[in-house]
């Protein structure tokens, strides 16, 4: 299953299962946050996340996905997404995007957050703030029958005034029994265009934003995506259900 095709709507009971998956994922982030500081290696963070997930009876969603070698994606500074955890020590002034997904009882949750390491420049702090706000701006427009373009446009509208580059080659996605389901969720678009999202739709919304242009490059490892101009990048993601009562963030 990919991000094209039919959207699989989830029942209230299924959304409850996804909520449990998202709650465990949030607990993983809460534990990681105790360790994210200058000097820690991205590999140590990966080991902590892997143990928590496996000990809870869940399964890391990224490990082995198309051959991905780790539980976390750890993307530092100009790295946008899909960085490998390893021996790199995080240093004061860096930022690291931690992206993690898991399956609990066959239901997937997916979330990402970019953390400042110690004190970062005002310019970088602003990038993190705006990117996180753009995620919440998207979530805020979700309701039954909202059009996909309206969601994408809300994300874009929160970013564009700052002159940042929105990454276009990578997108959000539907999520459920598979990590990547329909629909594809773009981080740019036009209000009142595209398909209508019914109640029961669950999506992972994940703006990726660069201080420079939105152009990307993939490193020789075949995975790590960086900004083509090497400018710092930020990435925030939540798994969100659209219900009759409005949006429910399953990974909050
Ligand atoms: Mg993710
Ligand atoms: Mg995702």
pLDDT tens digit sequence for 128-176: 999 999 999 999 999 999 999 999 999 999 999 999 999 999 999 999 9
Count of domains for the chain? 1
For residue 193, the 8-state DSSP code is: -
> In this structure, is residue 203 part of a structural domain?
yes
Distance 110 CA to ligand 1 centre (A): 5
> In this structure, is residue 159 part of a structural domain?
yes
Domain that holds residue 243: 12-249
Q: What is the pLDDT of residues 65-103, one digit of tens each?
A: 999 999 999 999 999 999 999 999 999 999 999 999 999
Q: What is the pLDDT of residues 212-244, one digit of tens each?
A: 999 999 999 999 999 999 999 999 999 999 999
Helix axes 12-33, 42-55, angle to 10 degrees: 140
CATH code of the domain containing 144: 3.90.230.10
Q: What are phi and psi of 46, to 5 degrees?
A: -65, -40
Tokens coding 167: 């990454």
**pLDDT higher than 60, residue 1:** no
Ligand nearest to the CA of 25: 1
Distance 102 CA to ligand 1 centre (A): 10
> In this structure, is residue 105 part of a structural domain?
yes
Distance 237 CA to ligand 1 centre (A): 6
> In this structure, is residue 6 part of a structural domain?
no
Burial of residue 122, with CB atoms counted within 10 A of its CB: 0-12 exposed, 13-18 middle, 19 or more buried: exposed
Distance 64 CA to ligand 1 centre (A): 15
> In this structure, is residue 2 part of a structural domain?
no
Distance 101 CA to ligand 1 centre (A): 6
Distance 94 CA to ligand 2 centre (A): 23
Task: Look at the pTM and tell me if it is higher than 0.95.
Answer: yes
Distance 109 CA to ligand 2 centre (A): 9
- CB distance 176 to 107 below 8 Å: yes
Tokens coding 51: 């143990």
């Amino acid at each position: 299953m990919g991000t094209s095709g039919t959207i699989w709507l989830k029942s209230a009971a299924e959304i409850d299962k996804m909520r449990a998956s998202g709650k465990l994922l949030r607990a993983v982030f809460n534990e990681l946050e105790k360790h994210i500081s200058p000097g820690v290696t991205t590999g140590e963070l990966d080991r902590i996340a892997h143990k928590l997930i496996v000990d809870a009876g869940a399964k890391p969603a990224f490990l082995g996905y198309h051959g991905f070698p780790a539980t976390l994606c750890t993307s530092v500074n100009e790295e946008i997404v899909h960085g490998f955890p390893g021996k790199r020590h995080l240093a004061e002034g860096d930022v690291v995007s931690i992206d993690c997904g898991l399956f609990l009882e066959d239901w997937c949750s997916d979330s990402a957050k970019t953390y400042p390491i110690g004190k970062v420049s005002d310019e970088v702090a602003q990038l993190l703030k705006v990117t996180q706000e753009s995620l919440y701006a998207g979530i805020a427009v979700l309701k039954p029958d909202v059009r996909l373009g309206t969601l994408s446009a809300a994300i874009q509208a929160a970013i564009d005034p700052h002159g940042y580059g929105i990454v276009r080659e990578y997108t959000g996605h539907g999520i459920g029994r598979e990590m990547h389901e329909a629909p594809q969720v773009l981080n740019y678009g036009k209000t009142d265009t595209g398909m209508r999202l019914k109640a029961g739709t669950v999506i992972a919304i994940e703006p990726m934003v660069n201080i420079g242009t939105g152009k990307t490059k993939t490193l020789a490892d075949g995975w790590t995506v960086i900004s083509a101009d090497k400018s710092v990048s930020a990435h925030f993601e939540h798994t969100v259900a659209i219900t009759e009562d409005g949006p429910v963030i399953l990974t909050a």
